[in-house]
């Protein structure tokens, strides 16, 4: 085996090992949260791994011997960018879970707040729609009201489960921010919790209309 083949084989082994370790890191982070859009904003704001990886990959490619050094550099940079993106995402997720006082840029914070408000509006719209459904259910006779109420209650409980996951995740994300940004983001959390209380009240009312209730 000549020196060039040996170097290329070594580089390939390093890449495979690197990919394996990155996959392990991402597995530790856990499943994607319910309100993944907000977490994605955090991740994209923190992760700069692709750019760093591209530089590192270019250096690795440039070390390869042979007549096609320029091509090797370009290939190395491309591979490095891919690897850097994977590592950058994993590291960003780790930072979100473990670091504090992360400061987003102004446009990143506004994007985050807008996303949170949009989710709040969706939940508020769901509660409003549920309230209208309950007005119609109330008009039914006892047997039909109990049947429809139980079906509606089941659907509402499933939605509430998703809402609870979103609240837990947003709470975690808010703890990562610097105090001023945390305060602004937690205002959206307070409004979301208020919608959760409305949903809980509706679910309890639907339960009251169930079988066995006089």
Find, among 120, 84, 119, 104, the residue nearest to 41 by Cα.
Answer: 104
pLDDT at 165: 92
pLDDT at 174: 93
In three-state secondary structure terms, 177 is strand
Please give the domain boundaries of the chain with CATH numbers for all domains.
3-98 (no CATH), 106-208 (1.20.58)
Find, among 91, 110, 83, 101, the residue nearest to 43 by Cα.
Answer: 91
pLDDT at 146: 94
CA distance 12 to 1: 15
pLDDT at 54: 42
pLDDT at 37: 84
Q: Mark out the alpha helices in 1-68 (DSSP H runs).
A: 3-29, 36-46, 49-62
Successive 10-residue mean pLDDT values, the chain, 214 residues = 56 49 42 66 67 42 50 50 50 68 90 95 97 95 94 96 93 92 97 97 94 55
DSSP 108: H
């Amino acid at each position: 085996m000549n020196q060039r083949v040996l170097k290329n084989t070594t580089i390939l082994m390093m890449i495979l090992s690197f990919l394996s370790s990155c996959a392990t890191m991402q597995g530790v982070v856990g499943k994607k949260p319910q309100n993944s859009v907000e977490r994605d904003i955090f991740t994209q704001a923190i992760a700069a791994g692709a750019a760093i990886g591209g530089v590192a990959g270019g250096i690795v490619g440039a070390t390869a011997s042979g007549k096609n050094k320029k091509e090797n550099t370009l290939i190395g940079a491309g591979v490095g960018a891919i690897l850097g993106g994977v590592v950058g995402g994993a590291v960003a997720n780790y930072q979100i879970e473990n670091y504090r006082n992360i400061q987003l840029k102004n446009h990143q914070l506004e994007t985050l707040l807008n996303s949170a408000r949009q989710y709040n509006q969706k939940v508020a719209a769901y509660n409003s729609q549920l309230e209208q459904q309950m007005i119609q259910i109330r008009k039914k006779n006892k047997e039909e009201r109990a049947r429809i109420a139980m079906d509606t209650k089941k659907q509402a409980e499933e939605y509430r489960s998703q809402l609870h996951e979103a609240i837990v995740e947003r709470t975690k994300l808010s703890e990562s921010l610097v105090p001023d940004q945390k305060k602004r983001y937690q205002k959206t959390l307070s409004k979301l919790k208020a919608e959760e209380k409305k949903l809980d009240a509706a679910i309890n009312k639907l339960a009251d209309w169930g079988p066995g209730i006089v």
